[in-house]
Structure 1
Amino acid sequence: MRASLVLGASFAYGVIASPVTSRSAVTAPNLFTSLSNAIDNPDTEKGTSATMADIVSQLKQNPDKTPKSAHSALSTIEQIMSNGDASSIVDLARDITKAGLIPEDILSLLDGYLDSEINSLQNQNPVINKSIYPSVAGDAPYSIPEHKLRSAIYIPDSFSYGRDGKTPVLLVPGTGIPGGTTYYFSFSKLGKTTAADVVWVNLPRAALSDAQLNSEYVAYAIQYLSALCGGRSVAVIAWSQGNLNTQWALKYWPSTRKVVQDLVAMSPDFHGTVERYLVCPALALAVCTPSLWQQGWDTKFIQTLRTDDGDSAYVPTTTVYSSFDNIVQPMSGPNASARLGDVRNVGVTNAHLQTVCAGQPAGGFYTHDGVLYNPLAWALAIDAITHDGPASLSRINLAQVCQGILWPTLDLKDMLATEGLLLIAVMELLAYQPPALDEPPIKEYTKKK
């Protein structure tokens, strides 16, 4: 049950931390208790239970192995991934914990994520005058009530509603981690670097349910954010599955294309992944969920998205991806899952970290979540948002950017906390009920010409 996996305290790091407003009635003492409860979950397979026990043991020991620099942290991550021992996402969580990448102070930041306001699905956002519901002509119909779509959007107090020349930016999370927590240690800080106004959408059940429904939240959030800012175009930064949701929204809610100036895609799996075995179907009886099924390279969802040039950009798009992605593969060469075509001539920049910054720190061992703090990824995002069209490598000082490990706005704590997001994904996966035995059926609206 979800109740046994909920964490207790609230965030206490950074300026956007806020008191509990959602799901606060259900709590558990702390992360250790939550992980311990997962061990006794009758729906958890025996091998997973043993691995979870190992994670809890490592957390309690709290060995003094914490990296003292971003360089040493990246080296530790490389050692973990190079060993190749992980056969599931739970194993990966065990290994990064064992290596000391999630020290006690980082755990205190992650503790209580479900009760944090930044992850709320019950935000009191204003009703807008523009009619975007139940559908705009030519768009697929929404199946989710409008008040749920609207209340899933989190608008920080600092948001200026398109005033002062700031670009509204919608952050879309990936699989298994709520939106607020996903970006808390990375792109929520974008406004410190450039004239960007960020909001994010929190997807129900941490985007583990049907990706087609997740896409409804994204489509609505795009239109709502634009209307809220007086009709201004918005930029979208998405991570992982969030890019599938955004591309699906752009395809089947074509009215969104008119108000999206850029899509910046971090670690996208536009063509699915052959690494789905990390969580599904190898652990199907324990943790497989609808959206995990859908992200396999051979699924009906991916094939439907790719038809009719759905694997080409609908808006100016910048993709950023790494060969060492531990979730999405392949992520190099012409068949990289992250790559989009440009048959509509809207402008596409496919940026492979190890090609652009070959042999340099920023082209190093960055994992699926590591792209969120990579300095080249940040430079590309900022360039895309502040110029017409996608990001251009010719406008970026690559000699300087490629020598970094983190974007200057971020620090080691942000890096380690981003790696620690994997623990949240593990708990969300183990908490998901009922497990899915196959992908959801494709929606009828996709069959209409």
Structure 2
Amino acid sequence: MRSPLRSLFACAAAVLLTVVVGGGVAGAQTTGYAPVDQPGPALTVPAAELAKSLRCTADVRNATREPVLLTPATTVDSDQNFGFNYEPLFRKLGVPYCTSDSPADPYNMGDMQVRAQYVTYGIREMHKLAGRRIAVMGHSQGGMIMRWSLRFWPDTRGMVDDVIGMAATNHGSVLVPALCVPNCAPALWQQRADSRFVQALNSGEETFPGISYTEIYSRTDEFVQPNLDDNGTSSLHGGGGTVANIAVQDVCPLAAPEHLLIGTMDPVTSALALDALTHPGPAVPSRVGSSVCKQLLMPGVNPVSGPATFVTLSAQVAAQLTVEAPRVPAEPPLACYVTASCPK
């Protein structure tokens, strides 16, 4: 299924074609940032707002299996990203889950440093409710925002067992700058491949011991690029975590999902995510099998209403990227805790 967004992102790709060709993702700086073991700062978002941000199924409390915190992409909220796919699938399979949203920034267009406070709260609260380590799973921005929590709030590392990214912007995208001419939403500035946010996110260590990372991407993603191989923007390297960087084409060579499909209806992505959730360690493509290549939609998606919802969602994403989201002329400054420069 082709998304109406493809033409929008194709224009961005044309603007930056010379940047992408032959591209890998440059390594981030490792100096000038807070040590990876520095205690995280106090959360500044009001407690009442944090409490409103988390919505959980009843079986998260004292969970008998690993529960999942779902974190949505830029331009959408959790209900739009996951309400017609992963939430019904998880309910059917008996997987406990919570969703994390920002009441003051429902479509995740604002400063992602603020968004990360909600995710940090979600990890801590969900771990406390479940009485066990959790998985954090997200799409695009939502596939990498938990890594900001893990990087700058070290206490969360012992609370997370699995990180599952679907088309995550772990190293930004070389196509985003075309959307920022002359200005764009704060979260888009921060998801440029050369942003200060991306450099800070990947400073020190990209992964941490005791955590399994499953990073799922598509070589045909029209928004998060370069993603031609496991040296691309979604993939992780270095640090102490156990990592699997997997292209959907590693399972189904002829698959060609675009960006929005990867996090909403793609059967290969969901099969890999479920494999990671139901086995120790990250996903293993050989356990998925080639039969998934014959499926048009992931389980949990209604074959009639699901595609219609996807079309509506595509229009919402396009509107947020082009006209509806607030725009600023530059990337938000890094918080002082990121560079260990806060006043004593």
TM-score (norm 2): 0.83
Residue 247 (structure 1) aligned with residue 147 (structure 2): yes
Give me the whole-angstrom Cα distance separating, in 2, the residues matched to 1:313 and 1:415: 38
Looking at structure 1, the residues matched to 80 and 5 of structure 2 have their Cα atoms a distance apart, in angstroms, of 24
Secondary structure in structure 1 of the residue aligned to 2:135: strand
Alignment of 1:293-372 (within 5 A): 293-310=189-206, 312=207, 315-344=211-240, 346-359=241-254, 364-372=255-263
Alpha-carbon distance change, 275 to 399 in structure 1, aligned in 2, over 3 angstroms: same
Query: Within 5 A, what are the aligned runs for 1:94-109?
Result: none
Kept after mapping to 1: 8 A contact 2:89/2:299: no
State the one-letter code of the partner of 2:140: S
Aligned with residue 87 of structure 1, among 11, 17, 33: 11
Does residue 211 of the first structure (1) align with residue 108 of the second (2)? no
The corresponding residue for 1:174 is 73
Alignment of 1:431 with 2:324, yes or no, is yes
Preserved CA contact (<8 Å) 1:170 1:235: yes
- Over 3 Å counting, the alpha-carbon distance change for 1:241 and 1:78 in structure 2 is closer
**C-alpha displacement at 1:261, in angstroms?**
1.2
Q: Give distance in 1, aligned partners of 2:334 and 2:253.
A: 40
2:232 maps to 1:232: no
The alignment partner of 1:207 has SS state of coil
Deviation of 1:329 (Å) = 0.8
- Percent identical residues: 28
Output aligned runs, 1:136-285, within 5 Å: 138-156=39-57, 159-163=58-62, 165-203=64-102, 204-205=104-105, 206-229=107-130, 231-281=131-181, 284=183
Which runs of no fewer than 5 residues in structure 2 stay unpaired? 14-36
Structure 1 330/304 Cα, relative in aligned 2: closer, same or farther at 3 Å?
Answer: same
CA contact (8 A) 1:168 1:198 kept: yes
Distance 1:442 1:80 in 2: 30
Measured in 2, the distance between the counterparts of 1:278 and 1:421 equals 22
Q: CA-to-partner distance for each residue in 1:300-341, whole Å, 9 max, x for gaps?
A: 11111111123x356211111111212111112243111011
Does the 8 A contact of 2:173 with 2:191 survive in 1? yes
**SS of residue matched to 2:60:** coil
Amino acid at match of 1:179: S
Deviation at 1:187, TM superposition (A): 1.2
Match of 1:290 in 2: 186
* Residue of structure 2 equivalent to 1:408: 299
> Which digits, 9 at most, give the CA deviation of each residue in 1:67-115, with x for residues without a partner?
xxxxxxx2xx18984x7895369xxxxxxxxxxxxxxxxxxxxxxxxxx
Q: Which amino acid aligns with 1:302?
A: V
Cα deviation, residue 213, structure 1: 0.7
Code of the residue aligned with 1:237 in structure 2: it is M
- 1:418 shift after superposition: 2.7
Q: Which amino acid aligns with 2:242?
A: G
The 8 Å contact of residues 78 and 365 in structure 1, kept in 2 or not, is answered as: no
Distance 1:329 1:150, change over 3 A: same
- Kept after mapping to 1: 8 A contact 2:85/2:298: no
1:215/1:185 CA distance change after superposition, 3 Å: same
Kept in 2: contact 1:313–1:341 (CA 8 A): no
Give the partner amino acid of 2:116. Answer: S
**Whole-Å Cα distance in 1 between the matches of residues 308 and 178 of structure 2?**
22
Deviations 1:210-257 (A, max 9, x none): 01111111011010011122x211111111111231110110011111
- Cα-to-partner distance string for 1:131-187 (whole Å, 9 max, x where unaligned): xxxxx982222121222112111234xx22345624321100110111222111221
Is 2:285 the counterpart of 1:393?
yes
Quick check: 1:267–1:322 contact (8 Å CA) kept in 2?
A: yes
Please say if 1:376 is aligned against 2:271.
no
- Opposite residue 87 of structure 1, the aligned amino acid is C
SS class of match (2:96): strand
Q: 1:80 to 1:215 in 2, by over 3 A?
A: closer
Partners of 2:306 and 2:159 in 1: how far apart? Answer: 31
CA contact (8 A) 1:180 1:202 kept: no
8 A Cα contact 2:138 2:164, kept in partner:
yes
Q: Secondary structure at the match of 1:365?
A: coil
Q: CA deviation at 1:402?
A: 2.3
Query: Mapping of 1:128-139 within 5 angstroms?
Result: 138-139=39-40
Q: So what's the TM-score if we normalise by structure 1?
A: 0.65
Given the alignment of the two structures, is residue 447 of structure 1 paired with residue 339 of structure 2, yes or no? yes
- 1:195 CA displacement: 3.1
Name the structure, 1 or 2, with higher relative contact order (CA <8 Å, separation 6+): 2
* Distance (Å, rounded) in 2 between the aligned partners of 1:164 and 1:303: 36
- TM-superposed CA distance for 1:427, in Å, is 3.6
Q: Match of 1:26?
A: none
